Each structure stands twice: as structure tokens, then as C-alpha cells.
Amino acid sequence: MKRVVLFDGECNFCNSSVQFIIKRDPAEHFLFSSLQSETGEKYVKQYKIPADVDSVVLIENGKAYTKSSAALHIAKKLDGLWHLFFLFILVPKKIRDGAYDYFSRNRHRWFGRNEESCMLPPPEVRKRFI
């Protein structure tokens, strides 16, 4: 079963994060779509994702994970020791999401926006974008 990662296609950090996931996901657990794309908008409507969620969403087993929960569930499936970050799921969601929201609010200022072009992945990776 494929999992779908929705990301902010205009965010440099988010685009780098997608590249990070791809490199650590040789089993190809994840497919990707920009939140701004037609497919991304379809998932947003289908899963009733709140409008204030604009960075990363994970669709897995018919459920949409947002904010820190999405990031931790993604880390759980990555190669290497990244799955150990899933232990942070034990931290109360309000605290995790507070830290996530702070980072999310500042990500464009810290990492910039990619408003003019999007990455063009090689053909073997391109098939993972929906």
C-alpha cells in the first residue's frame, strides 16, 4: 500500500524534505504530490484537511496525518535510524504541534520560497509524483 505525502510545492524546505525522503525510501513506500496541484487539492477535499495546514500531510491507510504526526509517521518508514524519531509520538501532540507550527510559520523566511520553478526529478523518481 502506497502512502501519499502532500507538500508545499512553493517551499524550499518542503522540496528539500521530499528529496530527503526519496533518498531514504528505497522501498518506495511514498508517493508525492504538491498541495497546490490538482491531485493535492483533491486529497485536501477528500480528507477534509484544514486550510491552516500548508506544509506536510501524510495520507496512510485512509487517514490524513498532519503537522508533527505526519512527519513522525513518515520517519517511521525511512531507512537508517530515522524510524527512531517515531518515539517522539509519545510527546503530547499539543507540544509537538506547537514546535511544528513555530517552524512552519518561519520556514519561508529561513529557507525561502520557490515560486518560479519546481524540481524536475529524473525519470525513475518522476513516477513517484502523482
Helix (H/G/I), strand (E/B), else coil: 17 = helix
C-alpha cell at 27: 522501498
Query: How distant, in Å, are the alpha carbons of 13, 75, 110 from that of 58?
Result: 17, 11, 23
Task: Report d(CA 19, CA 87) in Å as an integer.
Answer: 23
Q: Tell me: the pLDDT tens digits for 9-68?
A: 877 888 889 999 999 999 999 999 999 899 999 999 999 998 877 779 999 999 999 999
Report the predicted TM-score, pTM, of the whole model to 2 decimal places: 0.86
pLDDT of residue 51: 80
